[in-house]
Structure 1
Amino acid sequence: MSRKYKFYDNKKVHFVSLATVGWVDLFTRRIYFEVITDSFSYCIKHKGLILNAWCIMTNHVHLIIRSEDKSLSGIMRDMKKFTSKELIKTIQEHPKESRKERLLRIFEQAGQENKNNSYYQLWQQHNHPIELSTNNMMNQRLDYLHMNPVKAGFVKRPQDWLFSSAKNYAGLQGLLNLELAL
């Protein structure tokens, strides 16, 4: 793995992206978004995650994160492992999921192709953390992260996307309480 894509200082703010294998559009039902936001809340409360900004799209998640005293690599590993299992279980049990067989087949095939997995693989292996060392970098990533749903045509204004921190940055109550980055 390249030195460029590792967490070296957990206290510094990092931009991280997670993507589903094959960029599968999984996050199309509220219940799937809630698995992710519940995991964020748990990691904030119990694992030392400081979440500065976030956005969940249909096939990927962007985060701006740091930690005072815990390993960001460990937090991300645990979050990906937990959300993978929980999302697979939710897909299997969701009575109205018309894509169930297709989704499970894709995640099973990805799991079989990767010796690090026992059965399914939902997330791509890499997080590609980028340390945000300047205010300019922070502003650029915040704008990029919050504008994702606008550029995708889902909403007209960033704060209208329920599954991001844009409401918090617009001075409104968002889904999660955050430590704002700026």
Structure 2
Amino acid sequence: MCFIRDEYRQIFVNSVRYCQENKGLDVYAYCIMTSHVHMIVGSNGTNPLEGIIRDMKAFTSRSIRKALEDSNHVHESRREWMLYMMYKAGSYNANNNDFQLWQQHSQPIELTDNIIMDKNLEYIPVP
């Protein structure tokens, strides 16, 4: 339930914008849910898509962690619980030192034709 607060959504949106402007991320559709994100994205060839996604996830994870740990930065009634859950998730993952916000692997689906594209676009809720 990380993205309930606007501050955390804005961290994610800023990261997406940075990747668009500096790393070659193309965003076709997205929806920020309370606990996860749906995106239809691609790369313009500047950087491989998997590297862009890795960097975007790393940046948002570090930034949200910093916001949670900074008691003067955000009023967060769930602070201790969120930090506990993220540290606990990180402790179970050998690829992390101590903290995990995102799942280790995304679930990419290659959109090879218009039928698959339409099906996945319909899955992304429109606000």
Fold shared by both chains (TM-score > 0.5) = yes
Equivalent position of 2:112 in the other structure: 133
Residue-by-residue CA offset, 1:153-176 (whole Å, 9 max, x unaligned): xxxxx2xx3xxxxxxxxxxxxxxx
Which protein has the bigger helix share? 2
- Residue number in structure 2 paired with 1:122: 101
**Separation in 2, partners of 1:98, 1:62:** 26
1:95 positional shift? 3.6
Displaced runs of 4+ in structure 1, greater than 3 A?
Answer: none
Cα contact 2:67–2:74 (8 A) shared by 1: no
> How far did 1:68 drift?
2.1
Partner amino acid, structure 2, of 1:96: H
Partner of 1:52: 28
Instruction: Say if 2:6 is the partner of 1:27.
Output: no
What is the aligned-residue RMSD (CA, Å)? 1.0
Q: Determine if the alignment matches structure 1 residue 37 to structure 2 residue 16.
A: no
TM-score, normalization: structure 1?
Answer: 0.66
Tell me, yes or no, if the aligned pair for 2:87 and 2:100 is still in contact at 8 Å: yes
- Secondary structure of the residue aligned to 1:126 is coil
Partner of 1:175: none
Higher relative contact order (CA 8 A, sep 6+): 1
Taking a change above 3 Å as real, the CA distance of residues 140 and 101 of structure 1, as seen in their structure-2 partners, is same
Q: In the comparison of the two structures, how many residue pairs are matched?
A: 124
CA displacement at 1:92 relative to structure 2: 2.1
Residues 29 and 41, structure 2, Cα contact 8 Å, conserved in 1: yes
Letter in 1 for 2:30: W
Q: What TM-score does the superposition give when structure 2 sets the normalisation length?
A: 0.93
| Structure 2 residue identity aligned to 1:72 | L
SS, match of residue 44 in structure 2: coil
Aligned partner letter, 2:95: N
Unaligned runs of 5+ in 1: 1-24, 148-157, 162-182
Q: Which structure 2 segments of 5+ residues have no match?
A: none
Equivalent residue for 1:68?
Answer: 44
Mapping 1:139-178, distance limit 5 Å: 139-145=118-124, 147=125, 158=126, 161=127
1:83 to 2:60 alignment:
yes
